[in-house]
Amino acid sequence: MPKLLVIILSLTISLIGASYAENPFSADQSFGGQIPMEGQPITLKEAISQIGSAGDQFLKIEGQITEVCQAKGCWMILVEGDTYARVTFEDYGFFVPTETSMQRSVIYGQLSERTLSGQEAAHFAQDAGSQSKIELEGEIKEYSILARGVQLENRS
């Protein structure tokens, strides 16, 4: 993995640490489609551990948002500890506010593993707000969630 991306992700993840409060999740904002009421959300790590057996199943996954596309809110990064997944939105049908960073969330979507080209990774870094021209070589593997619905909890 290119050094710059590793550094960015490490800094982002270290800022989160144990930021989850023991308070129950409270959905203050919703975007996209309806998230089913039944069933409890699972953690991102639990979802990743089931990736082979879950198939194309839609899951309710909880985590904390650490980055959002600053161009228009068309993707975000969901983090749990040292694990992350890039969240994009089904059919490009909705976006989230660009100031969504550092909010707890529940995502209803399909989890998969995907490989980004260096060019795609550089594009995402620029969308995240990097002012410098970034050139990344090689491929980067990451987890991805195609979200049908997103619930956010306001920072308190």
**Can you give the pLDDT of all 156 residues of the chain as single tens digits?**
455 444 444 444 444 443 444 566 566 899 999 999 999 999 999 999 988 776 678 999 999 999 999 988 999 999 999 899 999 999 999 999 998 888 999 999 999 998 877 777 777 777 776 655 556 667 778 899 999 999 998 765
Q: What is d(CA 44, CA 30) in angstroms, rounded to the nearest whole number? A: 19
Return the number of other C-beta atoms located less than 10 Å from residue 14's C-beta. Answer: 9
Count CA atoms closer than 13 A to 41's CA, side-chain side. 22
Indicate the class that CATH gives domain 3-17+36-152. Answer: mainly beta
Instruction: Please state the domain extents for the chain.
Output: 3-17+36-152
At residue 54, the pLDDT reads: 61
Q: For 6, list phi and psi in degrees, rounded to 5.
A: -60, -45
**DSSP label of 36:** P
Our CA angle for 37, 105, 97, nearest 5°, is 115
Q: What's this model's pTM, rounded to 2 decimal places?
A: 0.74
Q: What is d(CA 153, CA 156) in angstroms, rounded to the nearest whole number? A: 9
- Token pair 């309806």: residue: 34
**DSSP label of 34:** P
At residue 14, the pLDDT reads: 43
Residues 6+ away with beta carbon under 8 Å from 2: 118, 121, 136, 137, 138, 140
CB of 77 closer than 8 Å to CB of 86? yes
